[in-house]
Amino acid sequence: MIEHILLGLHAIGNLPALIAIMAGVVLGILVGVMPGLSASTGVALLVPFTYTMSPVASMLLLVSLYMAGEYGGSITSIAIGTPGTPAAAATLFDGYKLTEKGQPGMALGTSVVASSIGGIIGACVLLVFSEPLARVAISFGAAEYFALAVFGLTIISSMSGNSLLKGFIAMLIGLLLKTVGLDPFTGGERFTFGVAKLMDGISFIPALIGLYALSQVFIGIEQLGTKLSAKAHYSYKVPGIKQLAKLWRVILQSSIIGSVIGVLPGAGATITSFICYNEAKRFSKTPEIYGTGCLEGVAAPESGNNAVVGGALIPLLTLGIPGSATAAVLIGALMLHGLLPGPMLFVHNADLVYGIFCGLFVACFFQLIFGLAGIPLWIKIISTPRALLLPAIAAIAIIGAYGKDYSMVDVWLMTGFGFLGYFLRKYKFPVTPVILALVLGGILEENFRRALIMSDGSYGIFFTKPISLVLLIMAVLSLGSPLIMKKLARGKPG
């Protein structure tokens, strides 16, 4: 373990890596601050900037953005009562109340400290549990990988909003898109319609940018009427050590809850925030203060949703299964550098894996510094006119898609996916299952067919192998887990 940590420290102990972490943190806070932009959109938009970076620097940049994006959402929640990201919705209950009392600095200070501690605890969980899990996964065969992909796809149940059916339809669209190109076993063309570029399949990066970033531009145009502005006359006095020390139990409890939930595929930061808020209130000696503007009500969801990041990276790095929407985007970034997430990453790219682990700790430190120092600036940025922001996002998306292979086919694909994403969102179909299916569709089909070749066509192979069977049972349970999570998260805050 020590030797691996030293390897990780070596990977991040250079100027480009530290700059990447710093840039990721600053951009993450910016993305989180701007309502409508989420960490997943931010990561998708930033992927094109990593084309020529080293894998370590690019992953540090994106993972830091992921971490800081979760914190950044709380700034908007606290300052203007509109969550910057869905995960920051629970922070609003007490955070905005503190702002109304004229103390946004207290809330923002608590938020950044709790977020950073939560992030560190999540990173510790990641560091301790990843390697043992990867060691188990290294023995997986085709049947196990098929079952794992099925399990991974069940994440859609928690990403489907009010309609699981629409989530399924979105997932099936993604799986269908993944079949475009040359068949991996026979070499025959499937749905290429004579376009040579499509023989390699649908490029993941243009799909990612289109579905997350360009579609967000169209949605943003629809929402242009809503005006957001932050008042500037409040006191930005941050909490002192003594005030923060009183929150240690809430922060620790929420961070542990967040790390554990983060590991569960699909549970995500939003549900975690609500669970942490409710659990903090339930265990509090003074539950009546929650919802009136108490620091505990800010610390609980913020430490929880940042701890999720470390937890969500465990299934991503060890099994190749994204634990959240942003993690699905991160898989795309890894694939861009020719790296396949999964247990072999620990064998062949240990420097990258442990660099990410160590980088998360450093990102938490930078988040604390930039988060505290930049409070007045972040609040000003909330008022950035979206009429300026949206065209800039569109231009970056287009140039970014072109930059991958210098191909206009990719740009058109990205544009097409942008329209697809817009229509999916507009008609209340979730977008993430499409991406998830694009990530897992290949693993699903190839291992399904490989397993059947090995078993001479017998489907029993999926049920007679213990790990495969357990994963398939877990997949069934995972489909029902959001209902349990929602039940846990329910309960009237405030």
Q: Which pair of tokens denotes residue 51?
A: 């084309």
CA-CA distance, 6 to 339, in Å (whole number)? 22
Residues 29-88 that bind other proteins (CB under 8 A): 48-49, 51-53
- Beta-bridged to residue 475, according to DSSP, are none
Residue from 7, 189, 291, 351 binding other proteins (CB under 8 A): 189
Grouping H, G, I as helix, E, B as strand and the rest as coil, residue 182 is: strand
Grouping H, G, I as helix, E, B as strand and the rest as coil, residue 190 is: strand
- Beta-bridged to residue 182, according to DSSP, are 189
Instruction: Give per-residue burial for 215-234: e unless 16+ CB within 10 Å, then b.
Output: bbbbebeeeeeeebebeeeb
> Is 403 among the residues that bind other proteins (CB under 8 A)?
yes
Residues 370-399 that bind other proteins (CB under 8 A): 385-388, 390-392, 394-396, 398-399
Q: Residue 375: name the closest of 17, 95, 123, 120 by CA.
A: 95
Q: Residue 181: name the closest of 195, 199, 161 by CA.
A: 199
Give the DSSP letter of residue 35.
Answer: T
Residue from 135, 237, 426, 486 binding other proteins (CB under 8 A): 426
- Minimal distance, residue 378 CB to other proteins, in Å: 20
Q: Which pair of tokens denotes residue 409?
A: 């086919």
Q: Which is nearer to other proteins, 134 or 175 (CB)?
A: 175
- Beta-bridged to residue 181, according to DSSP, are 190
> Is 140 among the residues that bind other proteins (CB under 8 A)?
no
CA-CA distance, 32 to 7, in Å (whole number)? 31
Residue from 1, 196, 338, 406 binding other proteins (CB under 8 A): 406
Q: Which is nearer to other proteins, 65 or 126 (CB)?
A: 65
Which are the contacts of 201, defined by CB distance < 8 A and separation ≥ 6? 178, 180, 181, 182
Using CB under 8 A, which of the segments 107-115, 160-168, 309-317, 367-375 binds other proteins? Answer: 160-168
Q: Which is nearer to other proteins, 155 or 251 (CB)?
A: 155
> Is 217 among the residues that bind other proteins (CB under 8 A)?
yes
> Is 18 among the residues that bind other proteins (CB under 8 A)?
no
> Is 175 among the residues that bind other proteins (CB under 8 A)?
yes
Tally of CB atoms within 10 A around 66: 29
- Minimal distance, residue 4 CB to other proteins, in Å: 30
> Is 190 among the residues that bind other proteins (CB under 8 A)?
yes
> Is 286 among the residues that bind other proteins (CB under 8 A)?
no
- Minimal distance, residue 215 CB to other proteins, in Å: 11
CA-CA distance, 301 to 208, in Å (whole number)? 28
* Site for other proteins, rule CB under 8 A: 48-49, 51-53, 165-166, 168-169, 172-173, 175-176, 179, 183, 185-191, 214, 217-218, 221-222, 224, 385-388, 390-392, 394-396, 398-399, 402-403, 406, 408, 411-412, 415, 418-419, 422-423, 426-429, 445, 448-449, 452-453, 456-457
